Amino acid sequence: MSLTSPVVLVTGAARRIGAAIVLHLHAQGFRVIVHYRHSAREAKALVAHLCATRPDSAIALSADLGVQAACARLIDQSQAWQGRLDAVVNNASSFFRTPIGAVDEPSWAALIDGNLKASFFVSQQAAPHLRESRGAIVNLCDVHAERPLPGFSVYTAAKAGIVSLTRSLALELAPHVRVNAVSPGSLTWPEDDTFTPAEQAAAEAAIPLARIGTGVDIAKAVCFLLCGNDYITGQILNVDGGASLVSH
C-alpha cells in the first residue's frame, strides 16, 4: 500500500458505512471502486463528488454479490479499470431480524449470501490480482459474531462465518496478501424500525465510551488495516467503544 494512488474496491459502498469508507480512503490517496446493488443514484453521486475533487479517481460498478458469476464480473471490471487491484473491502451486507420459528429459506439465503457468500466469492476472484500487487483484504463482520444478538441468529451466523473466513484466508493467501477484519459494534442506527427506541437506549448505555460508532470510526480502522501496518494479518479488530468488554 506504499504505491501512489492504489486501487481499492469497496462493496456495498453507496451509502452509510460503505460511503464513509470510500470517502476516507479516497482522501488518503486511493482510487476507489464504488460497488452497489440497488443504490445507483447514491453511488453515481458519490463518484461524481470524488471525481470533482480528483479527476478519474472513482468509478461505480453494479453487481448482485449473491451470485458467483456476478462476483467474478465485478472483479474483472475492477481490475480492468486501472489495470490493477490493490485492496478489497468486503462491506456489503444484508441485515434483518430472523426470530426462531419464523425463518424460511429465502431469509436464510438472503443473509448468508449477502454476507458470507459475497465475501468469499469476491475474495476468491480477487486473490490472483491481490497476489500480484501484494495487496490486502479487509472484511466487515460484527461484534455480535462473538456475542450473539437474540432475534438475529442467521445474520449472526453469517458474520461468524466471516470471522472464520478471515482467519482461513489469511493463512491461505500469505505471504503475498494480508487478510483482516473490522468488527463494528453499535453504529448510527438503521433508517427503519429494526430496533425499538428502548433497544437503542440500552445498547448505547452499555458502551464505555458513551456514544455509538460512526462510519468514520470504521473507515479509520479499515484504512489502518490496509496501509497502517503491513505485519498484521488474520486479526479481528473490534471497533465498538469498548462495548464487547461489558457483561450483558
Domains, the chain, in order of start with CATH, read 7-245 (3.40.50.720)
Structural contact between residues 122 and 61, judged by C-beta atoms closer than 8 angstroms:
no
Cα 244 → chain centroid: 20
E-assigned strands of the chain? 7-10, 31-36, 58-62, 87-90, 136-140, 178-184, 236-239
Distance of CA 14 to the CA centre of its chain: 12
Tally of CB atoms within 10 A around 141? 28
- Residue 114 carries which DSSP code? I
Q: Are 57 and 31 in contact (CB under 8 A)?
A: yes
List 8's β-bridge partners, or say none. 32, 87
pLDDT at 1: 53
Q: Tell whether pTM > 0.75.
A: yes
| 3-state SS assignment for residue 91 | coil
> How confident is the model over 41-54, as pLDDT tens digits?
999 999 999 999 99
- Higher-confidence position of 149 and 193: 149
Residues annotated as part of the active site = 155
- Confidence band for 247, pLDDT divided at 50, 70 and 90: low
Predicted confidence band of residue 194 (pLDDT cuts 50, 70, 90): confident
In this prediction, residue 95 has a pLDDT band, given cuts at 50, 70 and 90, of: confident
Give the mean pLDDT of 156-162.
96
Calculate mean pLDDT across residues 167-175: 98
